[in-house]
Each structure stands twice: as structure tokens, then as C-alpha cells.
């Protein structure tokens, strides 16, 4: 009797009466517009990938900063714990990589340009993550809208293959003409697909040069990619913060202020043979106050300047100046000395411009002349030393130092290790909840590409 009644009731239901959306909350949409997902992912990417947490640590280890209190004090002595990297690890996976995965899934075949943007962002994020941590989860970690909380770890070599594959696919997608959704909400390039293509090629050049110790063709590949990359500082992949949405370093210095400028970078600037470097006034709050010897806890020195700590400071994901330094190194290694000299001079000038020098400034020609004089030396030491100055506020000096040993950096006073760390530890949350898959490493172990 029950079965019959149920059958009758079911058969008499008018399908036009059924409200299939009855369980959908109109105030909590199931699908968030791509134009809202994208800027949220980009803000988090700028903040966590380069804006503060990672760069503060690597900048301390590269002795551009010195940590004088609290966590920064311990990091200056090479004490970095799994708990210290929980925030950056979790944020980059859940706020950046997950959102990029959703964009790719939601845009699909109908909007390849949007997919291409997410692929470039994913590649850039994986690049910094793997260069800090080594093996990381990716192929088993993200599946459309789902985040696997116990993923296996891909080797760094596989991650690099993934980065190049993502960038190659991104270029194809970004050059597609037919798109249902036009790119909107883009904080990096305002939807300009040509700029995104240049960014993809520039990032390819970065990661090819990073493999110079494990790939005999790295320099040739880097030059081929760079030829299609950024063409001026106007092309820089950057995000500008605002007085309402204050920059990461502004917030850190305002709330904690645990770092000062360190003597290693200061001494390099001080020993340059040209006129007063135009970056000094923006890198340093007061260059005349001097800098702290790493580990000395000297707080009576210059603080970081507006280049990083202004409310509206720019966060650089990839820059034209970095690309030119890559070209200088590659051409020098391949014996193309004249090209290397031109690349290096242009790279230094682009670095000046990134820091605020304008072509109509009174001393512009003098600075160009300085750059040309510096570029007569195309040794790896000179190129990477100047690239170290340009990379202030990014993780690239740490990657280049591990790869080349340049500049020469001594242990900080009071160091708790016998050598400078060569990687980050894995996040405590990963160890706690995915421990069977987390590689067992020490922060002094070398990465795959770091021979």
C-alpha cells in the first residue's frame, strides 16, 4: 500500500511546478563571477608570493634586511620553523592555486583568454613555491573545485616541466580570438592579452636560467623566450597597492617593524664607482644612517624606504629589468660579449626606472653613463651582483645566490646553523595532516636544480 501510494504521488507531480532552485541561497551564489575571483587571487598572489612573508625571510638571509626583533630576529639566525610558513603555504594553495583552478574550470573552452591568465598565474606561483620548498603537491592537489588535503608531492623536476607546459598552453589560449567572457577584474594588465603573452615568455626565461646547472641548453632557451618577453618597464607584471588597500610591507612596518637595512647590500651600493645610485633614496629611508651588520641587532640604522614600505608600493611578480639581467647572463655565458654589455647596461637603467627614475630627470644621462661603465664587466659576478641590487623586494636574489654563490655572504652573528639555509621547511599543517607524503628534509638540503 505504501509503495503504491508513493508511486501515485510521484506520477502526479507537475514538473512545471517543481522549484529546482529551492535549495539555492540567492545571497550565496553557487558560481562566483570570474571578474571577482581573478582580482581576489591576484591580490593574494601579490601579498603572499612576493609582498611580505617569503620576501622578508629571503631578504634577511640575503642580508638586504637584518631582523632585530621577534620572528625576524630568529630568522636572521636561520631559525625558520614549519609553523612559520603555515600562512604562506596555506594562502598560496587555497587563495591562489585553488582560485586559478576554478577560473580554468569555469572559463573552460569558451573563454580561453581567461584560462591563459590563470595558467600564467599558476606557473608563476608554482615557480616561487618550488624554488623555496623543492618538491610540492600539484598534479594530485587540485581537481576543478576540489582541494585534495592529502596529495602526493611532485618532484621539483616534474614541477618545472609543469611550469613550462602551463606557460606554453597559456600563450596559445591568450592568442585565441573567440572568447565568451572578456578578461575583466585584471589587476596586473587590465585584460591586455598581449601583455600576458609577454609575461608568459618572460617567466619562461626566468625558469630556464634557473636550470643553468642541470640543463646544458638553459641559456639558449632563456634567450629564445626572452626575445618574446617584456620590451620596457611599462610591461612589468606588478600590482600597485593603494592608500585604502595598503601594501604588505607598509602593514608589516606599521604593525611590527622588526627589520632594518643590512650592511651587505648597503656596502655594495656604497662601493659603486658611479654617482650616487638613484635607488638609494627609495630603497632606504635614510642611507646616511648606515645599516646593520647581520645578526648584530643594531636598530639605530636605516629602515626600508618607500620602494617597499609606501602605502601604495608596487609588488613586482616579474619585471623587464630582471629579464634583461637574464639576457645579460645568458649572452655572457654563450660568449656574446657585445650583446651581454648592452643587456647589462639596459638592465641597470631599467632597474633605476623601476625604482622611480624618470627619463626627464636632470641626472638621467649621468645614471645612464654609470650603467654603461658598469656593463663593461660582463663576468657572472658583476651581472649577478647588479641583479641582486635590482631584485630587492623579490625572491630572485635568494634563487640566484643558491645557483651561483653570488654575492658572497657570510654567516650572520649568532647563527644557529653552520650554513645559510638553502630551502624553506614544509608547513606544519602539511606535516600534521599529510605527513606520510611530506618529504623529510632539512633547511640546509639543496634543491634539485641547486648543484
Q: Is the pLDDT of residue 359 over 80?
A: yes
pLDDT digits (tens, 9 = 90+) for 112-122: 999 999 999 99
Helix (H) or strand (E) holding 142: strand 142-143
- Residues 1-53 pLDDT 10s: 333 333 333 333 343 433 434 444 555 455 789 999 999 999 999 999 998 88
Looking at residue 243, its pLDDT comes to 80
Q: Which domains does the chain have, with CATH numbers?
A: 34-433 (1.25.40.390)
Contacts for 71-74: CB closer than 8 Å, 24+ residues apart: 71/258, 72/256, 72/258, 72/259, 73/258, 73/297
At residue 125, the 3 state secondary structure works out as: helix
Query: What confidence tier does 144 reach under pLDDT thresholds 50, 70, 90?
Result: low
pLDDT at 364 over 70: yes
pLDDT at 349: 98
Does residue 250 surpass a pLDDT of 60?
A: yes
Going by pLDDT thresholds of 50, 70 and 90, the confidence category of residue 69 is confident
Say if residue 232's pLDDT is above 50: yes
Segment 93-102 mean pLDDT: 95
| Averaged pLDDT score across all residues of the chain | 91
Band (pLDDT 50/70/90 cuts) for residue 348 is very high
pLDDT digits (tens, 9 = 90+) for 402-422: 999 999 999 999 999 999 999
Calpha distance 115→89 (Å, rounded) = 23
Q: Which H helix or E strand runs over 391?
A: none
Residue 245: per-residue pLDDT: 84
Tell me which H or E stretch contains 133: helix 112-133
At 30 the pLDDT is 59
pLDDT at residue 149 is higher than 90:
no
* Helix (H/G/I), strand (E/B), else coil: 30: coil
3-class secondary-structure state, position 79: coil
Nearest Cα to 309, choosing from 286, 285, 293, 292? Answer: 285
Grid cell of 293 as nine digits: 651588520
Q: Is the pLDDT of residue 128 over 60?
A: yes
pLDDT, residue 10, reads 34
- By mean pLDDT, which of 29-33, 55-59, 206-210 is the weakest? 29-33
Of residues 297 and 448, the one with the higher pLDDT is 448
Report whether pLDDT(399) > 50.
yes
Q: What percent of the chain has pLDDT over 70?
A: 93
Q: How far is CA 235 from CA 121, 241, 350, 440, 449, in A?
A: 16, 17, 11, 40, 29
CB atoms within 10 A of CB 231: 10
Convert the pLDDT of each residue in 273-313 to its tens digit. Answer: 989 999 999 999 999 999 999 999 889 999 999 999 999 99
Q: What is the pLDDT of residue 190?
A: 96
* C-alpha–C-alpha distance, residues 203 and 210, integer Å: 11
Residues 91 and 48 sit within 8 Å (Cβ to Cβ): yes
Mean pLDDT of 92-107: 94
CA–CA gap between residue 306 and residue 98 (Å, rounded):
32
Instruction: List all residues 6 or more positions away from 198 whose beta carbon is below 8 Å from its beta carbon.
Output: 228, 229, 230, 231, 235
Look at 49-53, 107-111, 433-437 and tell me which has the smallest mean pLDDT: 49-53
Q: Once rounded to an integer, what is the mean pLDDT over residues 69-82? A: 93
User: Average pLDDT, stretch 75-98?
Assistant: 95
Which pLDDT value is given to residue 32?
87
Amino acid at each position: 500500500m505504501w509503495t503504491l501510494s508513493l508511486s501515485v504521488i510521484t506520477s502526479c507531480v507537475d514538473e512545471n511546478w517543481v522549484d529546482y532552485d529551492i535549495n539555492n541561497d540567492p545571497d550565496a551564489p553557487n558560481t562566483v563571477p570570474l571578474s571577482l575571483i581573478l582580482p581576489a587571487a591576484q591580490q593574494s598572489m601579490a601579498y603572499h608570493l612576493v609582498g611580505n612573508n617569503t620576501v622578508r625571510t629571503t631578504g634577511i638571509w640575503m642580508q638586504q634586511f637584518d631582523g632585530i626583533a621577534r620572528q625576524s630576529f630568529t630568522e636572521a639566525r636561520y631559525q625558520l620553523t614549519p609553523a612559520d610558513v603555515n600562512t604562506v603555504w596555506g594562502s598560496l594553495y587555497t587563495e591562489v592555486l585553488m582560485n586559478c583552478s576554478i577560473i580554468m574550470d569555469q572559463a573552460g573552452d569558451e573563454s580561453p583568454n581567461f584560462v591563459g591568465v590563470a595558467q600564467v598565474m599558476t606557473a608563476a606561483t608554482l615557480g616561487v613555491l618550488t624554488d623555496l620548498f623543492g618538491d610540492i603537491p600539484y598534479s594530485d592537489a587540485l581537481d576543478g573545485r576540489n582541494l585534495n588535503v592529502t596529495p602526493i608531492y611532485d618532484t621539483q623536476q616534474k614541477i618545472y616541466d609543469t611550469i613550462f607546459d602551463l606557460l606554453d598552453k597559456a600563450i596559445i589560449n591568450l592568442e585565441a580570438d573567440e572568447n565568451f567572457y572578456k578578461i575583466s577584474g585584471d589587476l596586473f594588465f587590465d585584460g591586455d592579452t598581449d601583455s600576458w603573452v609577454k609575461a608568459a615568455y618572460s617567466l619562461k626565461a626566468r625558469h630556464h636560467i634557473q636550470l643553468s646547472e642541470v640543463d646544458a641548453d638553459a641559456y639558449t632557451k632563456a634567450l629564445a623566450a626572452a626575445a618574446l618577453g617584456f620590451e620596457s618597464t611599462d610591461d612589468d607584471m606588478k600590482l600597485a597597492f593603494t592608500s585604502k588597500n595598503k601594501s604588505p610591507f607598509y602593514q608589516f612596518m606599521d604593525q611590527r617593524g622588526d627589520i632594518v637595512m643590512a650592511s651587505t647590500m648597503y656596502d655594495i651600493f656604497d662601493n659603486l664607482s658611479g654617482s650616487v645610485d638613484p635607488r638609494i633614496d627609495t630603497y632606504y629611508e635614510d642611507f646616511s644612517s648606515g645599516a646593520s651588520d647581520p645578526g648584530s641587532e643594531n636598530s639605530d640604522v636605516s629602515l626600508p624606504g618607500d620602494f617597499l614600505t609606501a602605502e601604495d608600493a608596487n609588488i613586482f611578480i616579474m619585471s623587464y629589468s630582471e629579464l634583461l639581467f637574464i639576457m645579460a647572463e645568458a649572452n655572457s655565458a654563450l660568449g656574446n660579449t657585445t650583446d651581454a654589455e648592452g643587456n647589462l647596461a639596459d638592465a641597470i637603467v631599467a632597474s633605476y626606472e623601476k625604482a622611480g627614475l624618470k627619463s626627464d630627470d636632470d641626472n638621467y644621462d649621468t645614471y645612464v653613463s654609470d650603467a654603461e661603465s658598469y656593463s663593461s664587466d660582463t663576468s657572472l659576478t658583476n651581472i649577478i651582483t647588479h641583479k641582486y641590487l635590482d631584485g630587492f623586494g623579490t625572491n630572485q636574489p635568494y634563487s640566484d645566490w643558491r645557483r651561483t654563490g653570488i654575492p658572497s655572504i657570510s654567516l650572520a652573528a649568532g647563527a644557529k646553523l653552520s650554513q645559510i639555509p638553502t630551502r624553506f621547511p614544509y608547513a606544519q599543517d602539511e606535516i600534521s595532516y599529510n605527513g606520510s607524503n611530506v618529504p623529510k628534509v632539512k633547511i640546509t638540503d639543496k634543491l634539485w636544480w641547486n648543484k
